[in-house]
Amino acid sequence: MTRFSDRKGPISLGMVGGGTDAFIGAVHRIAARMDNRYRLVAGALSSTPDRSLASGRALGLPEDRIYPDFEAMAAAEAARPDGIEAVAIVTPNHMHLPPAQAFLAQGIHVICDKPLTGTLPDARALAKAAAQSGALFVLTHNYTGYPMMRAAKAMVAAGRLGALRLVQMEYAQDWLADAAEEKGSKQAEWRTDPARSGAGGAIGDIGTHAFNLMGFVTGLSIEELSADLHRFVEGRRLDDNAQISLRLTGGARGAIWASQVATGCLNGLRMRVYGTLGALEWEQEAPEVLWFSQPGGQRQRLVRGTAAAIAAGETSSRVPAGHPEGYLEGFATIYTEAADAIVAHRSGQHTETLLPTVEDGLAGVAFVDACVRSSAANAAWTRLD
Amino acid sequence: MTRFSDRKGPISLGMVGGGTDAFIGAVHRIAARMDNRYRLVAGALSSTPDRSLASGRALGLPEDRIYPDFEAMAAAEAARPDGIEAVAIVTPNHMHLPPAQAFLAQGIHVICDKPLTGTLPDARALAKAAAQSGALFVLTHNYTGYPMMRAAKAMVAAGRLGALRLVQMEYAQDWLADAAEEKGSKQAEWRTDPARSGAGGAIGDIGTHAFNLMGFVTGLSIEELSADLHRFVEGRRLDDNAQISLRLTGGARGAIWASQVATGCLNGLRMRVYGTLGALEWEQEAPEVLWFSQPGGQRQRLVRGTAAAIAAGETSSRVPAGHPEGYLEGFATIYTEAADAIVAHRSGQHTETLLPTVEDGLAGVAFVDACVRSSAANAAWTRLD
Amino acid sequence: MTRFSDRKGPISLGMVGGGTDAFIGAVHRIAARMDNRYRLVAGALSSTPDRSLASGRALGLPEDRIYPDFEAMAAAEAARPDGIEAVAIVTPNHMHLPPAQAFLAQGIHVICDKPLTGTLPDARALAKAAAQSGALFVLTHNYTGYPMMRAAKAMVAAGRLGALRLVQMEYAQDWLADAAEEKGSKQAEWRTDPARSGAGGAIGDIGTHAFNLMGFVTGLSIEELSADLHRFVEGRRLDDNAQISLRLTGGARGAIWASQVATGCLNGLRMRVYGTLGALEWEQEAPEVLWFSQPGGQRQRLVRGTAAAIAAGETSSRVPAGHPEGYLEGFATIYTEAADAIVAHRSGQHTETLLPTVEDGLAGVAFVDACVRSSAANAAWTRLD
Amino acid sequence: MTRFSDRKGPISLGMVGGGTDAFIGAVHRIAARMDNRYRLVAGALSSTPDRSLASGRALGLPEDRIYPDFEAMAAAEAARPDGIEAVAIVTPNHMHLPPAQAFLAQGIHVICDKPLTGTLPDARALAKAAAQSGALFVLTHNYTGYPMMRAAKAMVAAGRLGALRLVQMEYAQDWLADAAEEKGSKQAEWRTDPARSGAGGAIGDIGTHAFNLMGFVTGLSIEELSADLHRFVEGRRLDDNAQISLRLTGGARGAIWASQVATGCLNGLRMRVYGTLGALEWEQEAPEVLWFSQPGGQRQRLVRGTAAAIAAGETSSRVPAGHPEGYLEGFATIYTEAADAIVAHRSGQHTETLLPTVEDGLAGVAFVDACVRSSAANAAWTRLD
């Protein structure tokens, strides 16, 4: 019997971080709400108790479940018969490990924002904590929730691309093209601060998404990489541009370009995979479309929700083809599948899912670590073990 | 003082229609949930009591608020101190008027799917009922909720296009390209049934969206139209293709093409507006992008969430530029703005909104009526009064 | 034996019209030159003898073959043993018939710009002249020369689209959005002058291209049409916008929109054809791509020069796929196929070609005539016979 | 006084290579013909005399000017009073130097296909020969002939992008995705043969185009590079994929990806340049469009031939905007500007042009050489001097 074996209906959810100023906290809340599988009932929404209180009230949380800090929250919620069954951790990177350990130790499931942690030792500690806990751990690499990314993964797995040769990943933004961290942007402040972000800047913030998505779709791992990290904005303390060459398992080659100074780019996550029999191309800003090319100029435009896409392996649509789903829907799919796993867990069942795991998160932090080491060695080839 | 002047927090919502088989009911529920402004607490979800009960249970409604029909629901909810403050009506067209009258009569706000009704007399009766009720009436012409459609409207209003000359609207789908109504599609059955849909087929189902959006963005009205409605699928009882020429106020010309037999088209709502100083182009399947052209080959791609789009008049974003919002977000904006209006109404305030009104709905049904009459007269020019 | 049965090598070509100021004359010359099948050796390049002389010298023509007018040219060239074998007529519409008659009467092949003539009687006279002459007559509806339009035609003919239901043609430009004819544009002057253009403005200049291409690809004819022609620019003497509803052979429906006041549109010729089994979409500004859709969301992007496009029926490439061909190449294909036909004619052979004929041109002028009559009768349905 | 100071009119052109089987020879001939500035009058079209003769006859060359080899041609043409004024060299890379030396030594201008040579010593020898000759040398890096690439160059030079930070170049094809060189493709045979191509495969064939275009538009040079060349097809003797990281002058960073095994890619040359004030994006397969982005989501689509593009610095259009020009027109612009330079040279004038020079070609071969050396040293950073 598990801790929550008598629970029924929507999952009681708590949140750590995600106060008024935050961007990603609101996203997590909408994602949790989309399919009606969670109720947000508790929170330690800010490291500043006053702000936590104000934010909790603004969200309509009961007064007695607005906590000044995550430790208090973990203890109190674990003690309540109606305590939270899961917690969303949406703090800056350096503050993922402590609350995750606290809640996992109480058997409360953790849904954690990416990257897993700011440092590799933290990541290892968290992986260990998750392994030792009976509770679930889900990392919100939300782009894996896009239906066409599931189609892409299924097509690769089914051999539609043949042997993979090349992977070109890129993630280009421009919101750090100038020194936003000195102009009052909270988002920019912590993301360019090694103490809160870890040793990776752009490579940690968005490069990990690209890395994760590449592995999700292709199943390939990096054998060694050569990374050239760079800071274009004067005074910045972390990289804002990264160019990485990859040698992948099975003899494939690849590259990841991650940049936050690419003027005119918004959220340009893009994947291209080339195999002997076919190729896939996808752009996050038009996420409903997956291009499938075959030799001889055969080029298909697969759209979410069509019979053709479903046959290719697409899943998770909420509305018919041509009614565009977007970022929030993909994010919500992660939450909803986590809900399925949590419900199964109530009765002691383990379900196979596509959800990003703590091991995926550890791999991501190891990737950042290898990039930083490679770059420090003038882009020397560096193995990932 | 108003009926709900003491209410606080999320709005208690009921639903008429929208049982398990329905498409649009689920959409309304997600839209209501997205911004956490409603709680679905009651329903008469099907015209078949057993199915209503099963659907209500599946949605987790309290047993005593699952009703066998809308009359019972209107009476019982009006009698409860915690009764619903608003109701979503998501039935086929012929069943919009009766529940709307019932709830409006009780002072309960109505959020109603489009088109307003199946017939013009019904539409007039509903407009009258809404005018006589103190309650609010909102019609879910959801495409007006897209941020870039608000930007488009603002740009036209600000004179960025100069004097308008041409409007090209189209709405092309292919899901009725064969006789889906004879192959078990519930959606197809009622939408091709004059008793439930009214005299318009494609022109009623999707043509009204195109008509509404044209008016929303341009502010132009149709003076006269020439409509050629057609049924391509043998045995079909309503039009599945409509080609309409328009003479608009201010000397503008235009056309609306609505089709449900256009092979390969998914949900191809598209708007193009040409004025003396500029032009706009937009496609629903890529709703985040609005093209603005000016003489001399100046052509700008405006994207939701960017400073450029916001300066142009875009509103209502939930996530930053490049994180695509879609159909559900646009729909949710209608619900959320209705929530704002409902909350204002609690204290007797009237707020100006961009929400589609019962008058807009009446205009839409009058448009369908004029199209049907014009087509019956071999596409004779027919005035809209 | 034919008049030119002893000729070998490149075809000696003359030109009527196409002096220094002209746009289309230069296009014809490049098109003739592209595949090295013609030598321009004679010309009456302007209705003003001085300008003809200057233009001829600028083109490097021999002095004795620069003529003051087409009559002199026809007589002199016919008398020369090395006289021209073909003539390109690139004058305004009202000046197509007289030179065509003159050269056809001499057995000299005519390659004539579109539309065939400015008036229907002229068109009939020209058709008669062409029929009576043993010489060839080719009309440069150049858009039929695009390889992907040949692919489209082949796909329709092979039944890939099933029974055709809908055709949406449009041709939108903006170069007459203001009164260019009053600001010194020679092109605008004659094209808005009924004496030189005929009764059709935009409908004659570009509507005929759309009409011709529709027939070329689909094989459908118009049974009746309802045309609303309009003049947006004050003082203009011919239509600058045309909206036409079509009832086509075989029960198909369609529309043609032609406009020269659509701000931001450059040369927006676009074709969409929908059948029971498939659909095609094509835009002249991206002429290398043909979209082929099938039910269920199958959507293929066919590109000129690929094996897939060739299998679909594409012909006439000069360079490999991905090396874009454009407007001049498509135009040149008309010239080159005319050269093939002329060479075959030398030995008395008749070859089947895809080249637009005088009958196609007559149909185009009849189409303009029907549009003008329909519009004058308030867009009454008007039969094409 | 120069050798050809008494010449008038079209330039007499010879060709070395470009016989029946060749691809690029035909392209050069069309390019030379497009604007009527050359007459092809002589050729040594194949290394096999019989094939040269047959090819020359097929092209209609005079019998006495079809030569068995380039040495005979250079000698004979130099001796004729009407001898060729320029020669196009369109042989495989290893056969650029010898004919170039021979014709330059005779004072005959050389228009040479790229890359300059197969080896760096050859390239140096050719640069020396060109410097010592009074004749002109033009390298057909044809993509610099695209009007929008001239616009791009002008925009960078005018500071519209601010300080350049990032350059992402790619050139992806798939025609060598399998062992085409073993299946009878002449093109594949010599391009994968070190004896004829030199030490670079894809990097030489297409990487040099990307390298050249980057320099043309941005004015940046490579300080050092790290290249990972790879052969995916078993048995292939040269690289078919190259991933190169760049450190550029002025602190800019960049990457070049060149591949001939990228399934589904046709001729995917693509350039993206990011500066502090703006960014440009361009794709060769849609060459008429240049995207210009500025901070804040300003994004303009510039199209060749529009007033906006011309204001940005576009030049060289033949037809109006919206009438697409393509690969052949861009190539022809190189020829036509070479003709201008040749005509100026007749009277001893030197003109500044945008034409690729022998020095540009030498830089390209040095780039290939550095890539090969870097790759052999496990992608070690390698300086370009």
Contacts of B281 in chain C (CB under 8 A): 264
Q: What is the pLDDT of residue B169?
A: 98
Q: How far apart are CA C313 and CA C280, in angstroms?
A: 14
Taking CA atoms, B115 is separated from A241, B204, B215, B383, C252, in Å, by 51, 7, 15, 20, 28
Mutate to test the interface with B, among A15, A328, A333 (most CBs of B within 10 A): A328
What's chain A look like in SS3? CCCCCCCCCCEEEEEECCCCCCCHHHHHHHHHHHCCCEEEEEEECCCCHHHHHHHHHHCCCCHHHECCCHHHHHHHHHHCCCCCCEEEECCCHHHCHHHHHHHHHCCCEEEECCCCCCCHHHHHHHHHHHHHCCCCEEECCHHHHCHHHHHHHHHHHCCCCCCEEEEEEEEECCCCCCCHHHCCCHHHHHHCCHHHHCCCCHHHHHHHHHHHHHHHHHCCCEEEEEEEEECCCCCCCCCCEEEEEEEEHHHCEEEEEEECCCCCCCCEEEEEEEECCCEEEEECCCCCEEEEEECCCEEEEEECCCHHHHHHCCCCCCCCCCCCCCHHHHHHHHHHHHHHHHHHHHCCCCCCCCCCCHHHHHHHHHHHHHHHHHHHCCCCCEECC
| Out of D33, D319, D322, closest to residue C36 by CB | D33
CA closest to C307 among chain A residues:
A296
Measured N-to-C along each axis, helices C327-346 and D327-346 cross at an angle, to the nearest 10 degrees, of 80
CA closest to B309 among chain D residues:
D297
| B20 has a pLDDT exceeding 90 | no
Mutate to test the interface with D, among B306, B310, B317 (most CBs of D within 10 A): B306
pTM of structure: 0.97
Name the token pair of A348. 């002691």
Q: Is B224 helix (H, G, I), strand (E, B) or coil?
A: strand
Per-residue b or e along B342-377, where b marks 16 or more CB atoms closer than 10 Å to that residue's CB: bbebbeeeeeeeebbbbebbbbbbbbbbbbbebbee
Q: What is the pLDDT of residue B1?
A: 54
Please check whether residue B187 touches A, CB under 8 A.
Answer: no
Q: Is D279 helix (H, G, I), strand (E, B) or coil?
A: strand
Please check whether residue C303 touches A, CB under 8 A.
Answer: yes
Beta bridge partners of C289: C303
Q: What residue type is assigned to position B23 of the chain? A: F
Q: Using one digit for the tens of pLDDT, what is the confidence trace for D243-298? A: 999 999 999 999 999 999 999 999 999 999 999 999 999 999 999 999 999 999 99
- pLDDT band at residue C351, thresholds of 50, 70 and 90? confident
Residues 249-268 of B with CB under 8 A from C: 253, 255, 257, 259, 261-266
Q: How far apart are the first and last CA of chain A?
A: 37
| Out of B297, B301, B308, closest to residue D308 by CB | B297
Distance of CA A87 to the CA centre of its chain: 16
> Which chains are within 8 Å of B by 3+ CB pairs?
A, C, D
Cis peptide before C115 (omega within 30 of 0): yes
Q: Using one digit for the tens of pLDDT, what is the confidence trace for C247-305? A: 999 999 999 999 999 999 999 999 999 999 999 999 999 999 999 999 999 999 999 99
Average pLDDT over residues D55-73: 96
- pLDDT band at residue C1, thresholds of 50, 70 and 90? low
| Cα dihedral C170→C175→C176→C180 (10° resolution) | -170
Q: Is D61 helix (H, G, I), strand (E, B) or coil?
A: coil
- Beta C86-89 vs C164-172: how paired, if at all? unpaired
Q: What is the pLDDT of residue A131?
A: 97
Contacts of A305 in chain C (CB under 8 A): 297
Q: How far apart are CA A32 and CA A27, in angstroms?
A: 9
Q: How many CB atoms lie within 10 A of CB C349?
A: 10
Q: Is B248 helix (H, G, I), strand (E, B) or coil?
A: strand
CA angle in degrees (0–180, nearest 5) for B327-B331-B337: 145
Chain-chain contact of D168 with A257 (C-beta, under 8 angstroms)? yes
Q: What residue type is assigned to position D66 of the chain? A: I
Average pLDDT over chain D reads 96
Mutate to test the interface with D, among B300, B310, B314 (most CBs of D within 10 A): B300
Q: What is the pLDDT of residue D317?
A: 82
Residues with Cβ within 8 Å of A157's Cβ and at least 6 positions away in sequence, in order, are A219, A313
Q: What is the pLDDT of residue A2?
A: 73
Contacts of B145 in chain A (CB under 8 A): none
Please check whether residue D170 touches C, CB under 8 A.
Answer: no
| B74 has a pLDDT exceeding 80 | yes
Inter-chain CB pairs, A–B, below 8 Å:
102
Q: What is the pLDDT of residue A223?
A: 98
State the complex-level ipTM: 0.96
Per-residue b or e along A296-312, where b marks 16 or more CB atoms closer than 10 Å to that residue's CB: bbbbbbbbbbbebbbeb
Q: How far apart are CA B68 and CA B50, in angstroms?
A: 8
| Out of B296, B300, B305, closest to residue D299 by CB | B300
**Burial of residue D234 (number of CB atoms within 10 Å: 0-12, 13-18, 19+):** exposed
- Beta A382-383 vs A222-230: how paired, if at all? antiparallel
Query: Contact, D242 vs D170, CB < 8 A?
Result: no
Please check whether residue A379 touches C, CB under 8 A.
Answer: no
| Out of D241, D276, D293, closest to residue A253 by CB | D241
| B215 has a pLDDT exceeding 60 | yes
Q: What is the pLDDT of residue C315?
A: 84
Q: Using one digit for the tens of pLDDT, what is the confidence trace for A228-258? A: 999 999 999 999 999 999 999 999 999 999 9
| A57 has a pLDDT exceeding 70 | yes
Residues constituting chain C: 385
Taking CA atoms, C197 is separated from A318, C212, C296, in Å, by 55, 18, 46
Q: How far apart are CA D39 and CA C19, in angstroms?
A: 23
Chain-chain contact of A308 with C298 (C-beta, under 8 angstroms)? yes
Q: Which 8-state DSSP code applies to residue C113?
A: P
Q: Which 8-state DSSP code applies to residue B113?
A: P
Q: What is the pLDDT of residue D1?
A: 54
Query: Contact, A113 vs A28, CB < 8 A?
Result: yes
Q: Using one digit for the tens of pLDDT, what is the confidence trace for C279-289? A: 999 999 999 99
- pLDDT band at residue C2, thresholds of 50, 70 and 90? confident
Please check whether residue D276 touches A, CB under 8 A.
Answer: yes
Q: How far apart are CA C84 and CA A286, in angstroms?
A: 56
Q: How far apart are CA B266 and CA B286, in angstroms?
A: 12
Beta bridge partners of A110: A87, A137
**Burial of residue C17 (number of CB atoms within 10 Å: 0-12, 13-18, 19+):** buried
Q: What is the pLDDT of residue C317?
A: 81
Query: Contact, B209 vs B141, CB < 8 A?
Result: yes
| Out of B267, B286, B322, closest to residue A266 by CB | B322
Residues with Cβ within 8 Å of C207's Cβ and at least 6 positions away in sequence, in order, are C171, C200, C242, C244, C256, C258, C367, C368, C371
Residues with Cβ within 8 Å of B333's Cβ and at least 6 positions away in sequence, in order, are B145, B146, B147, B316
Contacts of C378 in chain B (CB under 8 A): 381
Name the token pair of B176. 């009725």
Per-residue b or e along C191-225, where b marks 16 or more CB atoms closer than 10 Å to that residue's CB: bbbeeebbbbbbbbbbbbbbbbbbbbbbebebbbb
Query: Contact, B172 vs B207, CB < 8 A?
Result: no
| B21 has a pLDDT exceeding 80 | no
Name the token pair of A330. 């993909």
Average pLDDT over chain C reads 96
Q: How far apart are CA D83 and CA C353, in angstroms?
A: 41
Average pLDDT over chain A reads 96
Chain-chain contact of B267 with A318 (C-beta, under 8 angstroms)? no
Contacts of A60 in chain B (CB under 8 A): 9-10, 36
Please check whether residue C197 touches B, CB under 8 A.
Answer: no
D313: left (phi over 0), alpha (psi -120 to 50) or beta: left
- pLDDT band at residue A1, thresholds of 50, 70 and 90? low
Q: How far apart are the first and last CA of chain B?
A: 37
| Location of structure tokens 């839409």 | B364
Which of D269, D229, D276, D271 lies closest to D252 in space, CA to CA?
D276
Q: How far apart are CA A373 and CA A371, in angstroms?
A: 5
| C316 has a pLDDT exceeding 80 | no
Mutate to test the interface with C, among D11, D300, D303, D328 (most CBs of C within 10 A): D328
Q: Is D207 helix (H, G, I), strand (E, B) or coil?
A: helix
Distance of CA B44 to the CA centre of its chain: 21
D137: left (phi over 0), alpha (psi -120 to 50) or beta: beta
Average pLDDT over residues D200-224: 98
Q: How far apart are CA D139 and CA B354, in angstroms?
A: 61
